[in-house]
Amino acid sequence: MTVQVLNVRMVERRAEAALLLTVLLHALTVTVTPPVSGSAWLTGGAYLLGQLACLLVAAEAWRGAHHAQRRLLGRFTLALTALWLGDCVTLSFELRDLNIPGLSVADALYATYYLLMGGALLSLTRLRLNSLRTLSMTLDSLIVMTILGTVTWTFLLSRSVPLHPAGAAYVTLDLALIAVGLLALRQQRLSVPVALLCAGLTLIVSGDLHAALVGGYASGNRADFLYLWGSALQVLGLWWRRDQAVRGVQWRPPRPVRVWLAAFPYLAGGLTCAALLVSRPAPVTLWGAALTFLLVLLRQGTVIQENHLLARKLRHSAAELERRGSQLRYQARHDALTGLPNRAEFEERLRAAISGPAAVMFIDLDGFKDVNDTFGHPVGDDLLRLVAARLQTHLPARATLARVGGDEFTLVLPGADEAQALHTARRLLNSLSDPVAVAGLTLTVSASIGVSVAPRDGTDVTTLQRRADTAMYHAKHSGRRQVKAFTPALDDQRREHFALEAALRRAVHAQQFTLHYQPQLRGAALESVEALVRWTDPQLGPVSPGRFIPVAEQCGLILPLGRWVREQACAQAAAWHAQGRPLRVAVNVSPLEFTQPDFVPHVQGLLLGLDLPAHLLELEVTEGLLVQDLTGTAAILRELRALGVRISVDDFGVQHASLSALMALPADVLKLDRSFLSGHDTPGGLPSGTQVLRAVHTLGRELNLDVLAEGVETPEQHALLRDLGFEYMQGFLFAPAMPAEELDLWRDARSG
């Protein structure tokens, strides 16, 4: 590829050098040859040789041109061919000492040159006939042609020597070519090829003008220089033009040049007036001036029309800009999905509303993430649009509903107090109670709403929104589908929650937890222990599991915490087994842990790595797992049972699992929730509670399950359970949860 480019560039340089050497050779020949008889052979031959070189370079440019330029370059090459042949005929008359007739074959060839050159230049203009710009440019060119003709006639051709008819015809044709050349030059901007073509044309016109002034053509005079240099420049323009479709060479002229081109018709009109003032106006001069002023007047009419069109375009552009500006302002202040105001617009309206009493609501859809994860974001987007439309239909007057992100909406209700705001919030909740049809699905949607009231809960936008968000947070964690009004206590609880979460993260990273073990007795014998996690924070002090376990589950920290508890409990069970004092350890499993894909492999790895018999590990799952996903839970439990691990169902009776669920569940133990023993520590107890205890014990026995009663704290409860047939119990009545070392001492004391 590089060699090909170098070869092309070498050919270009040789062609340009050949043109230059030929023109210089002609100039040297004419300069050193005296004007004697027979010198026409030398000067004319040199001239024809130079024109032939120009023709050959033009033909080479046409032959190697890009396909987009071949037709155009062919016309120029034919024009130069006609010019060269015409020069040959003219020189033949001179060499034979014959007078050149008024009309000859040479004139026909020259006319062919003008036609072909004019057609080629016209093809460069690429004008549209129905364009106002074309009319303006044509008028500019005609003005220039008329002025040049008038000035030329007035100052150069108006003399006593009669003008040669052919010379006058050639000058007229030259003026026409100049007009077309100006059109091409302006339409093509200012490109090197077109500029060279027009420069060459100017030299040829100057040669014709010289021949008209001296009364004819003779070889070796100045006209030859002008003709040959003009042809050379035109050929160079063709040479540059041949691959312009491949390498662009156009450039926009500087502003001063464009200003002068635009002002030239008017300056030329001024020159015509000067010519009329300093000369004796001949009829041709008067007619030329009149035609010039007529053309200028027409050109002025096109200027007025162009200005009118420009003003109309400007008005249209201004209207379009205003329309787009309004559209952009609307898009900047509204949500693209629902068309509701966005956060910026809402805050502006809220800022205006809190100059007086106002209520702010924060609305968050319950379980929206599950819709996106299950059915995809397009369904979620459709659901958001339908929810927004349904909420809008139930808005009170003057209320503003906005979408501030995801599935979160905010609402401002000017002039409302807490009672009115809560009434409106409940009405909005009720509007979402009916199922929503989306993409062929029937979905149930609900929301949690928090309310803050100005000026009681705040007097600025940020505070009111934050406190409404705090109230919504507590509504969501109080069971969802609820409305909560902000109180200072909620703010304190949320700050406490975030502080607890931050401390919990530090504790998980630093492993600040310990395990305590609470005995589980069958009769008087110690059968197993339950591992219970304990946490003492350096700043917060002892933190009960009832406080930090829910926080850990909400923020995902239950995964590393539960993993650590399993590892520590299994290590302790393996240590007891190695000491010859085996004791089964029960470990609680969070529902979030249970659904992790590496849960079963992790348990299996612990058993193998610690050489712990599987029957010494018992995993406790909550009854809620059965209610949520019985099929998936049963499959995982079967994998654990296959390893030999015991399974117990914790908090039985709270979530109300069905009997069929228990029958399908591969479990070993039912842990009776401590709430069933409430009221049995007082004389008389609860008769209905006693019947439930008896029924659960009977159910466990029929299903071949151990039933463990936890939370036994009083002798009365112990006596009741023993009378009902319960043997497997756990509670403070027997022993509290204690560290492993204390448990060993407790065991030794019992065995001693």
Q: Is the domain of 40 the same as that of 171?
A: yes
Task: Let me know whether 22 and 75 are in one domain.
Answer: yes
Answer yes or no: do 152 and 250 share one domain: yes
Residues 300 and 372 in one domain: no
> CA-to-CA distance for 327 and 333, rounded, in angstroms?
10
Are 404 and 346 in contact, with CB atoms under 8 Å apart? Answer: yes
pLDDT band at 2, cuts 50/70/90? Answer: very low
Helix axis angle for 255-278 and 132-152, nearest 10°, is: 40
Residues 464 and 516 in one domain: no
Specify the range with the lowest mean pLDDT, choosing from 38-47, 328-337, 557-566, 619-628. 38-47
- For the chain, give the longest Cα–Cα distance: 157
Split into its structural domains, the chain has a count of 3
Q: What is the CATH number of the domain that holds 440?
A: 3.30.70.270
- Give the residue from 246, 277, 305 where a domain finishes: 305
Pick the most confident of 125-139, 224-238, 319-333, 650-664. 319-333
The answer to whether residues 422 and 551 belong to one domain is no
Residue 620 φ/ψ, nearest 5 degrees: -100, 120
Question: What are 557's two structure tokens?
Answer: 């920290």
Q: Which pLDDT tens digit goes with each residue over 496-544? A: 888 888 999 999 998 899 999 999 999 889 999 999 999 998 888 899 9
Which residue do the tokens 């001024």 mark? 270
- Which of the four pLDDT bands, split at 50, 70 and 90, describes residue 8? very low
When mean pLDDT is compared across 147-156, 223-232, 401-410, the lowest value belongs to 147-156
Which residue did the predictor score with more confidence, 442 or 599? 599
The domain that holds 741 is classified in CATH as 3.20.20.450
Confidence bin at 220 (pLDDT 50/70/90): low
- pLDDT digits 0-9 by tens, 253-304: 556 655 665 665 566 556 656 655 565 556 666 666 667 667 766 776 777 7
Residues 461, 560, single domain; the answer is no
pTM of the model: 0.52
| 604 shares a domain with 663 | yes
**pLDDT tens digit sequence for 476-507:** 887 778 899 998 887 777 788 888 889 999 99
Give me the mean pLDDT over the 233-256 stretch. Answer: 60
Asked if the structure places residue 31 within a domain, the reply is: yes
Per-residue pLDDT at 685: 46
In 3D space, the residue among 105, 208, 131 whose CA is nearest the CA of residue 164 turns out to be 208
In terms of pLDDT, which residue wins out, 209 or 664? Answer: 209
Determine the pLDDT at residue 215: 55
Determine, yes or no, domain membership for 333.
no
Higher pLDDT, 737 or 37: 737
Size (the chain), residues? 752
For the ranges 184-193, 359-368, 663-672, the one whose mean pLDDT is highest = 359-368
Residue 336 forms part of a structural domain = no
pLDDT at 430 over 60: yes
Query: Is the model's pLDDT at 679 over the cut of 60?
Result: no
Residue of higher predicted confidence among 240 and 693: 693
Q: What value, to the nearest 5°, has the Cα angle with vertex 213 and ends 209 and 216?
A: 90
The SS3 call for residue 312 is helix
> Which two tokens mark 58?
């033009």
Range of the domain at 96: 2-305
Q: How far apart are CA 400 and CA 386, in angstroms?
A: 17
In a domain, 532, yes or no: yes
Residue 684 belongs to a domain: yes
Of 159 and 555, the structure prediction assigns the larger pLDDT to 555
Does residue 493 sit within a domain?
Answer: no
Let me know whether 480 and 537 are in one domain. no
Name the pLDDT band for 245 (thresholds 50, 70, 90): very low
Cα 465 from Cα 447, distance rounded (Å): 17
pLDDT band, residue 368 (cuts 50/70/90):
confident
Residue where one domain finishes, among candidates 305, 330, 362:
305
Q: Are 69 and 124 in contact (CB under 8 A)?
A: no
Query: What share of the chain in percent tops pLDDT 70?
Result: 70
Q: Which of 150, 142, 139, 135 is nearest to 270 (CA)?
A: 150
Look at residue 174 in the predicted model and tell me its pLDDT: 73
Measure the CA–CA gap between 689 and 672, rounded to whole angstroms.
12
Cα distances (Å, whole numbers) of residue 501 to 133, 505, 589, 627: 74, 6, 20, 29
Give domain status of residue 322, yes or no. Answer: no
Q: Do 471 and 516 fall into the same domain?
A: no
pLDDT of 241 reads 64
The answer on 403 and 366 residing in a single domain is: yes
Task: Quote the pLDDT of residue 609.
Answer: 93
Among the three residues 426, 452, 486, which one is the final residue of a domain in this structure?
A: 486
Q: Verify that 291 and 368 share a domain, yes or no.
A: no
Average pLDDT in the chain: 78
Of the pLDDT bands very low, low, confident and very high (cuts 50, 70, 90), residue 127 is low
135 in a structural domain: yes
Q: How crowded is residue 666: how many other Cβ atoms within 10 Å of its Cβ?
A: 15
pLDDT category, 360, cuts 50, 70, 90?
Answer: very high
